[in-house]
Amino acid sequence: MEFIFIAKVLLVLAILAISLLVATYTTYAERKVAAFLQDRVGPDRAGPMGIFQPFMDAAKMFMKEEIFPKDSNKFLFILGPALAMLTACMTSAVIPWSKDITLMGHRIPLQVANINIGVLYVFGVVSLGVYGIMIGGWSSNNKYSLLGAIRASSQMISYELAMGLSLIAILIMSGSLDLKDIVEKQHGFWTGSYFSWNFFRAPLSFLIFIICAFAECNRAPFDLAECESELIGGYHTEYSSMKLGLYLFAEYVNMFISSALISALFFGGYNFPFMDSIGNENAVAIIGLCVFFAKTFFFMFVYLWVRWTLPRFRYDQLMRLGWQYLLPLAIFNILVVGAIIMWRMM
């Protein structure tokens, strides 16, 4: 029991460290991808090919002056970015990163918390992230910050509806709210006479989910909460130093976790072709972990790719897309998937 507890603590620390490291280097990757797409060089001064640039950015954030607006609510001003970062990191607790590993006769699951309502937990924690943004914008006592916070919270709440409905088709097919079960139902790559991954069974659910994920993370082309031409910096206009850094880090951690969720829900998670031909369970778990991270990093690249490819929406277009198109489409998708499953059961 003590061994399992120590293993769980180490797993929590490892996931937190990896999330922060990935978030740190995603800033570097974003600038390099942007430079490639715009035929520029990008960061190239801090270390070979600029690989130490994220550490320079972090040092700059720590060394910047702490500024509190004169009439702001200081407690809420600090609570906002802290809450945004906390909820971003909490989401990773239910993600199954790979199969169980056996060490010293003990079976160690590579999942912090295997709860049978993992999907509901994710949506519950994600919905709390809205408060971090709203509190930060309101407590700044700045009209631009408040407008940015209202924009961000309204679009996040709106797109959560379509995102949740898009997953109902996956839950119907899997028969479980447990993320581990959902991943296990996508075992391997081919089952019977068809692909086992949910992407091939419900491609419309994937399309709706990934569009909503862009809006949930306030990423382009849905970055209306912080568009410079209208709102200066948006909800974090008044923030400086590491309070601003926490908001920026939370966005990149959310990108990482949402990419991991897309991989787990639609692309088999740690499952890969011909995994049953490998006899060693630990080898399967290690390869599955690498495969899971490869899928996750691919979808993080998609986030960066889309940002520097598509133009920004207008706000009315953003809300119209969520309410008049994605929401009815998600309901239609549930009906189609449900009808197909009932037809197969007859």
pLDDT mean over 200-220: 90
- Are 256 and 22 in contact by the 8 Å Cβ rule? The answer is yes
Task: Assess whether pLDDT exceeds 70 at residue 229.
Answer: no
Please tell me the predicted confidence (pLDDT) of residue 162. Answer: 93
**Residue 126 placed within a domain:** yes
Task: Assess whether pLDDT exceeds 90 at residue 298.
Answer: yes
Q: Fill in the DSSP letter of residue 322.
A: I
What's the pTM value of the predicted model, to 2 decimals? 0.92
Measured distance CA(97)–CA(179) in Å, rounded: 10
Highest mean pLDDT among 46-55, 76-85, 228-237, 287-296 belongs to: 287-296
pLDDT mean over 205-214: 94
pLDDT mean over 55-65: 86
- Are 269 and 310 in contact by the 8 Å Cβ rule? The answer is no
Neighbours of 70 (CB within 10 A): 5
Which residues contact residue 24 at a Cβ distance below 8 angstroms, ignoring those fewer than 6 apart? 54, 55, 58, 249, 252
Q: Which residues are 108's β-sheet partners? A: 101
**Residue 221 placed within a domain:** yes
Please tell me the predicted confidence (pLDDT) of residue 299. Answer: 95
- pLDDT (tens digit per residue) in 324-340: 999 999 999 999 988 98
Task: Assess whether pLDDT exceeds 90 at residue 205.
Answer: yes
**Residue 9 placed within a domain:** no
Highest mean pLDDT among 56-65, 102-111, 296-305 belongs to: 296-305
What percent of the chain has a predicted confidence (pLDDT) above 70?
Answer: 97
Please tell me the predicted confidence (pLDDT) of residue 212. Answer: 93
Please tell me the predicted confidence (pLDDT) of residue 220. Answer: 78
First-to-final CA distance of the chain: 47
β-pairing, 101-103 vs 106-108, is antiparallel
Q: Find, among 268, 276, 274, the residue nearest to 292 by Cα.
A: 268
> The domain containing residue 78 runs over which residues?
63-345
**Residue 44 placed within a domain:** no
pLDDT higher at 231 or 44: 44
Please tell me the predicted confidence (pLDDT) of residue 218. Answer: 83
Number of domains in the chain: 1
Task: Assess whether pLDDT exceeds 80 at residue 232.
Answer: no
Please tell me the predicted confidence (pLDDT) of residue 227. Answer: 67
**Residue 308 placed within a domain:** yes
**Residue 136 placed within a domain:** yes
Please tell me the predicted confidence (pLDDT) of residue 230. Answer: 61
**Residue 83 placed within a domain:** yes
Task: Assess whether pLDDT exceeds 90 at residue 62.
Answer: no
Q: Find, among 71, 37, 84, the residue nearest to 236 by Cα.
A: 84
Please tell me the predicted confidence (pLDDT) of residue 289. Answer: 94
- pLDDT (tens digit per residue) in 142-190: 888 888 888 888 888 899 999 999 999 999 988 889 999 999 999 888 8
Query: For the chain, how are helix, strand and coil distributed in percent, rounded to 5?
Result: 70, 5, 25
Please tell me the predicted confidence (pLDDT) of residue 335. Answer: 93
Q: Lowest-confidence range among 51-55, 101-105, 178-182, 281-285? A: 101-105
**Residue 13 placed within a domain:** no
Please tell me the predicted confidence (pLDDT) of residue 67. Answer: 83
pLDDT mean over 66-91: 88
Averaged pLDDT of the chain: 88
Q: Find, among 325, 333, 335, 322, the residue nearest to 212 by Cα.
A: 322
Q: Identify the three-state secondary structure at position 97.
A: coil
Q: What does the block give as tokens for 325?
A: 């198109």
- C-alpha separations of 189 from 80, 127, 186, 266, 275 in Å: 42, 33, 7, 12, 9
